[in-house]
């Protein structure tokens, strides 16, 4: 298990390019289960969750090969997905789903394509209970017979049929699973109270390129006219707004100046608006999104923040925002409204000298508190990004353990940070003091 050894403080400065979005690439891979034709995905991030999904697809009869895009696309990975032709099971085993909840995204396409799917229930997660009841209610509304037994959900349907379904709450992968399933249903499906995340709209773009008929993705209501079969497609994954947002928060909290290239300012608007409010300088141009710490001098101002489904402030940037607030002037209240247990980074930040008081779903940060380097432990993907940023801003050496969490969703983070001037090294556990 590798660790990051970081020496701070460093003002992050320079250019960084966003990788493709993990949370758009995962449902895109699942879409390959809907067709016999090859799929080509450009800008696929080289992160561990994608390798896990590729292993799951391989188990389900979809092979994937990686090639490298030509240089002007920054050497991104290109994934070529095609059926291996072997007869394949229609079940997603516990061993593959337990490490990555997004494995549940094979349920809708398998059921729609084969009339049967058996998928391991994802089980518990560090940040919350995270049930999949909305996925199952939605598939039942499309006519599926849904049974839970022995830790698996088993679903059957001769052919799914179009229906009107309203989610009880916006769910990202729930909306994606229903989009994947409804694409091959007989008739028209109307989905309401959908998740509006950019990753949902990106999946709809891919499915439409495969021959689906989806309209309204990105909004609260989505209409899917089912088709009998889907073809192949070539698709470019959208930039990762969470990865990109992490580097922009790093610029603000270290007194730095970072240009994020090839990212979407529209997708990042909730963060950019907040950074401007607390006193960072935000500039959007064809060259990219530039964030500089308050050129007016003096620390940034504290700013309250509530997480919410898109277009609210993303919960996946909450931990990084908390690290930022430790460097801001005043008291900020952070309310986590999406997940019930997503403040595990707070006690680790406190080990670095932060003054964070958690009370249920709220955390109050008293700042600025100068951070000092320490040995800290990552507990989940975004908590690890928060601790890495804190290490870059802190005085002295920080050792972040368990960065396998980070590798799930950040492509070459230490290299990108080094490119921005940070002194960070990945060291195997055996070498770390």
Least Cβ distance, residue 87 to ligand EPZ (angstroms): 29
Catalytic amino acids? 125
For residue 318, state whether it binds ligand EPZ (rule: CB under 6 A). Answer: no
Contact track, ligand EPZ, 73-112, x by CB under 6 A: ----------------------------xx----------
Could you say which residues in the range 334-363 bind ligand EPZ, by CB under 6 A? 338-339
d(Cα 46, Cα 412) in Å, to the nearest integer? 8
For the beta carbon of residue 426, count every other beta carbon within 10 angstroms. 16
DSSP string covering 296-351: T-SPPBP--EEB-STTSB-GGGHHHHHHHHTTSBEEEEEE--S-SS--THHHHHHH
172 binding ligand EPZ? (CB under 6 A): yes
Number of residues binding to ligand EPZ, judged by CB under 6 A: 25
Stretch that binds ligand EPZ, among 130-138, 244-252, 262-270, 367-375 (CB under 6 A): 130-138
Residue 297 C-beta: closest distance to ligand EPZ, Å:
34
Nearest to 195 by CA among 222, 224, 165: 222
Q: What is the DSSP string of 178-232?
A: HHHHHTTSBSEEEEES----HHHHHHHHHHHHTT-EEE-BTBS-EEEE--S-B--
Assess 134 for contact with ligand EPZ (CB under 6 A).
yes
Burial group, residue 83, by CB count within 10 angstroms (0-12, 13-18, 19+): middle
Using CB under 6 A as the binding rule, whether residue 171 contacts ligand EPZ is answered as: yes
Does 278 interact with ligand EPZ (rule: CB under 6 A)? no
Q: Which stretch binds ligand EPZ (CB under 6 A): 124-132, 208-216, 366-374, 422-430?
A: 124-132
Binding status of residue 191 toward ligand EPZ by CB under 6 A: no
Told to check if 25 binds ligand EPZ by CB under 6 A, we report: no
CB proximity list for 131: less than 8 A, separation 6 or greater:
none
Binding residues for ligand EPZ, rule: CB under 6 A, are: 23, 26, 101-102, 128-135, 169, 171-174, 195, 315-316, 338-339, 381-382, 409
């Amino acid at each position: 298990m590798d660790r990051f050894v970081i020496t701070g403080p460093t003002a992050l400065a320079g250019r960084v390019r966003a990788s493709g979005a993990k949370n758009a690439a995962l449902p895109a891979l699942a879409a390959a289960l809907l067709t016999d034709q090859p799929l080509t995905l450009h800008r696929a991030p080289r992160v561990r969750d994608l390798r896990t999904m590729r292993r799951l697809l391989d188990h389900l009869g979809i092979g994937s090969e990686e090639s490298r895009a030509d240089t002007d696309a920054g050497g991104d990975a290109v994934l070529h997905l095609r059926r291996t032709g072997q007869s394949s099971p229609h079940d997603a085993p516990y061993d593959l789903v337990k490490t990555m909840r997004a494995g549940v995204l094979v349920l809708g396409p398998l059921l729609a394509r084969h009339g049967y799917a058996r998928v391991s229930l994802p089980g518990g997660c560090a940040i919350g209970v995270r049930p999949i009841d909305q996925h199952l209610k939605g598939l039942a509304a499309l006519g599926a017979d849904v049974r839970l037994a022995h830790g698996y959900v088993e679903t059957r349907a001769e052919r799914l049929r179009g229906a009107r379904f309203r989610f009880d709450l916006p769910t990202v992968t729930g909306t994606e699973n229903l989009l994947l399933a409804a694409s091959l249903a007989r008739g028209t499906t109307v989905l309401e109270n959908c998740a509006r995340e950019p990753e949902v709209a990106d999946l709809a773009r891919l499915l439409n390129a495969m021959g689906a008929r989806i309209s309204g993705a990105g909004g609260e209501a989505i209409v899917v006219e089912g088709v009998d079969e889907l073809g192949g497609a070539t698709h470019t994954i959208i930039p990762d707004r969470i990865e990109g947002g992490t580097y922009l928060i790093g610029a603000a909290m270290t007194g730095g100046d970072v240009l994020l290239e090839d990212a979407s300012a529209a997708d990042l608007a909730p963060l950019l608006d907040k950074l401007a409010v607390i006193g960072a300088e935000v500039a959007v141009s064809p060259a990219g999104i530039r964030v500089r710490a308050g050129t007016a001098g003096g620390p940034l101002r504290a700013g309250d923040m509530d997480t919410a489904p898109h277009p609210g402030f993303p919960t996946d940037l909450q931990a990084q925002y908390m690290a930022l607030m430790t460097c801001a002037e005043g008291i900020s209240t952070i309310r986590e409204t999406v997940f019930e247990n997503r403040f595990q980074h707070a006690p680790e930040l406190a080990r670095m000298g932060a003054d964070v008081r958690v009370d249920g779903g709220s955390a109050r940060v008293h700042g600025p508190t100068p951070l000092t380097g320490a040995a800290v432990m990552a507990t989940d993907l975004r908590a690890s990004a928060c601790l890495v940023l804190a290490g870059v801003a802190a005085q002295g050496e920080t050792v972040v353990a368990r960065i396998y969490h980070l590798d799930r969703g950040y492509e070459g983070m230490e290299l990108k940070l080094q490119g921005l001037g940070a002194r960070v090294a990945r060291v195997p556990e055996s070498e770390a003091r």
